[in-house]
């Protein structure tokens, strides 16, 4: 396979990783009613080569949440990108269990000059950063908080899910469209039962 082909697969793998933490059984129940937190580390391989590591940690109580994510290229992954990407989403949880982001941080070590802190101003219905702002629709999420809403809708039986999501890299809101496939079993030490969800299409929303 060419370097371009491997690079495309690397990007696809990272897209899949963005969904992994909503798949284990029990996540959606915990997202709705639980408190406390959890963390997980994923090692990404292409064939026999390790290419990256994804660490995620969630803390929450009945009213607030904090979701942290760190993506680190490893081994052959460094050939395509040496950038470390950290994301943090914090916000409130309403009485129905819906997550509503108030602050989102997206930090790419390879682009330190880009805006990295974004504030969801729900009174003004905008996302503010640096000296800019963009309008935000009711029910919008960031890249991390969307996972709670996606998990909720999937467990309620939705076969297609569409969410307005703020992309910290592009600094724009996209309409993420997901399709739900058949349940599968992933053979890992935890023996997880998973639901396959397609990589989202992302037409520009605003």
Contact present, 149 and 98 (Cβ < 8 Å): yes
Residue 201, beta-bridge partner list: 177
pLDDT at 181 over 70: yes
Q: Which of 76-85, 102-111, 152-161 reaches the highest mean pLDDT?
A: 102-111
Confidence of residue 18 (pLDDT cuts 50, 70, 90): very low
Confidence of residue 78 (pLDDT cuts 50, 70, 90): low
The full DSSP string for 110-165 is T-TTS--EEEEETTTTEEEETTEEEE--TT-EETTTHHHHHHHHHHTT-SEEEEEE
Query: Taking the complete model, does pTM exceed 0.75, yes or no?
Result: yes
Structure tokens at 181: 């496939």
Higher pLDDT, 9 or 88: 88
Per the listing, tokens 């590591």 go with 53
Higher pLDDT, 13 or 86: 86
Average pLDDT for 139-143: 94
Least confident of 79-88, 121-130, 169-178: 79-88
Structure tokens at 12: 């696809």
pLDDT at 136 over 90: yes
Report the relative pairing of strands 85-93 and 99-108 from DSSP bridges.
antiparallel
Mean residue pLDDT across the chain = 76
């Amino acid at each position: 396979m060419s370097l371009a082909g491997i690079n495309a697969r690397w990007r696809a793998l990272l897209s899949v990783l963005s969904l992994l933490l909503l798949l284990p059984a029990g996540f959606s129940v915990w997202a709705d009613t639980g408190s406390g937190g959890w963390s997980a580390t994923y090692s990404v391989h292409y064939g026999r080569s390790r290419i990256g590591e994804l660490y995620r940690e969630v803390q929450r109580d009945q009213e607030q949440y904090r979701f942290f994510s760190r993506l680190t290229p490893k081994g052959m992954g460094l050939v395509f990108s040496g950038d470390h990407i950290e994301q943090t989403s914090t916000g409130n949880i309403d009485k129905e269990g819906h997550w509503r982001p108030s602050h989102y941080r997206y930090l790419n070590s390879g682009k330190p000059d880009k805006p990295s802190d974004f504030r969801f101003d729900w009174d003004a219905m905008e996302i503010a950063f640096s000296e800019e702002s963009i309008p935000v629709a009711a029910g919008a999420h960031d890249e991390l908080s969307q996972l709670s809403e996606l998990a909720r809708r999937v467990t309620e039986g939705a076969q297609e899910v569409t969410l307005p999501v703020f992309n910290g890299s592009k600094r724009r809101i996209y309409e993420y469209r997901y399709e739900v496939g058949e349940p599968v079993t992933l053979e890992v030490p935890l023996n997880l039962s998973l639901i396959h969800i397609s990589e989202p299409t992302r037409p520009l929303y605003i």
